[in-house]
């Protein structure tokens, strides 16, 4: 008599619901990690470009000064700078749509540098896109992500405004001393030069931890530090 072969039941053709959900969860987790890493890397890359631009412009300005004995000037604001006794220069912006930039021109916002000292003027990697930030100065109808230049011919300040996108250390030498953070106190002017300590390089109400920085800058001397 032949024995009957026992049939083992195997579910080799599919997965259980739990297994499917587990695989989906793992894929979602890995995808989010990849996306987060990519976004972070792009932000760091843009900030690196901005930092390099600050140094490139600073070099070009010093070459210009060596040839002409002064820096390219911007118009006067008519506001007296108590630190130097001279009138404060106005802002020239690299973004034509900047709310507070005067003489804004993306092709030649610092007269005299192109083409001898620079082949062309850079624009911010995000092209003026500046979402609202907690300091209340960057956003729609306000400052843009742009490069800002101001000079009275004797001194200059060149800023990358409404950035960085990544965190910075308090010891970072490119932090703008007048825009280094802290909440804006009621009834005070964030950009009043008298509120900036040109000795320590920190505003009276800065956080000091690099958490609220919204501009990086280079400048010719301590006279322009608090512009």
Read off the tokens for 158. 């060149």
* pLDDT-derived band at 211, boundaries 50, 70, 90: low
Residues 24-59 as b/e (b if ≥16 CB within 10 A, e otherwise) read: eeeeeeeeeeeeeeeeeeebeebbeebbebbeebbe
Percent of the chain topping pLDDT 70: 68
Residue 148: strand pairing partners: 93, 159
- What pLDDT does 204 receive? 41
Q: What is the mean pLDDT of residues 84-92?
A: 74
Place of tokens 């192109």: 114
Rounded CA gap, 222 and 227, in Å?
10
Tell me the HSE value of 136 on the side-chain side, using a 13 A CA sphere.
8
Looking up tokens 């020239």 gives 92
pLDDT in tens, 179-199: 765 444 444 444 444 555 544
Please check whether residue 109 is in contact with residue 158, taking contact to mean a CB–CB distance below 8 angstroms.
no
Extended strands (E) in 38-183: 76-80, 87-89, 92-93, 146-151, 156-161
Q: Which residue has the higher pLDDT, 95 or 151?
A: 151
Which pLDDT band holds residue 170 (cuts at 50, 70, 90)? confident
The answer on pLDDT for 103 being more than 60 is no
For the stretch 143-164, pLDDT in tens is 788 898 999 899 999 999 888 8
Q: Strand (E) positions, the chain?
A: 76-80, 87-89, 92-93, 146-151, 156-161, 196-197, 202-203, 215-219
Q: What is the pLDDT of residues 4-35, one digit of tens each?
A: 555 544 455 567 878 888 888 888 887 777 77
Is residue 38 predicted with pLDDT exceeding 70?
yes
Mean pLDDT, range 202-214, rounded to an integer? 52
Average pLDDT, the chain: 75
- CA-to-CA separations, 66 to 63, 72, 117, 177, 189, in angstroms, rounded: 5, 12, 12, 26, 36
- Using CA atoms, how far apart are residues 194 and 203, in angstroms rounded to an integer? 9
Q: What was the pLDDT predicted at 22?
A: 82
- Determine the pLDDT at residue 62: 96
């Amino acid at each position: 008599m032949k024995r009957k072969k026992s049939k083992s039941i195997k579910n080799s053709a599919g997965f259980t619901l739990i297994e499917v959900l587990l695989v989906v969860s793992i894929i979602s987790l890995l995808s989010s990690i990849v996306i987060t890493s990519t976004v972070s890397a792009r932000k760091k890359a843009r900030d690196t470009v901005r930092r390099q631009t600050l140094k490139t412009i600073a070099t070009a300005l010093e070459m210009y000064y060596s040839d002409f004995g002064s820096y390219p000037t911007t118009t006067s604001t008519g506001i007296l700078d108590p630190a130097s006794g001279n009138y404060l220069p106005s802002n020239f912006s690299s973004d034509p749509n900047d709310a507070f930039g005067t003489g804004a021109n993306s092709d030649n916002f610092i007269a005299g540098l192109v083409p001898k000292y620079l082949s062309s003027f850079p624009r911010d990697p995000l092209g003026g896109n500046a979402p609202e930030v907690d300091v209340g100065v960057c956003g729609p109808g306000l400052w843009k992500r742009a490069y800002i230049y101001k000079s009275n011919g004797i001194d200059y300040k060149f800023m990358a405004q409404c950035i960085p996108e990544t965190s910075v250390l308090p010891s970072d030498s490119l932090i703008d001393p007048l825009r280094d953070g802290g909440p804006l106190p009621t009834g005070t002017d964030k950009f009043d030069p008298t509120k900036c300590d040109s000795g320590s390089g920190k505003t009276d109400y800065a956080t000091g931890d690099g958490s609220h920085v919204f501009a990086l800058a280079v400048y010719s001397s301590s006279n322009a530090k608090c512009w």
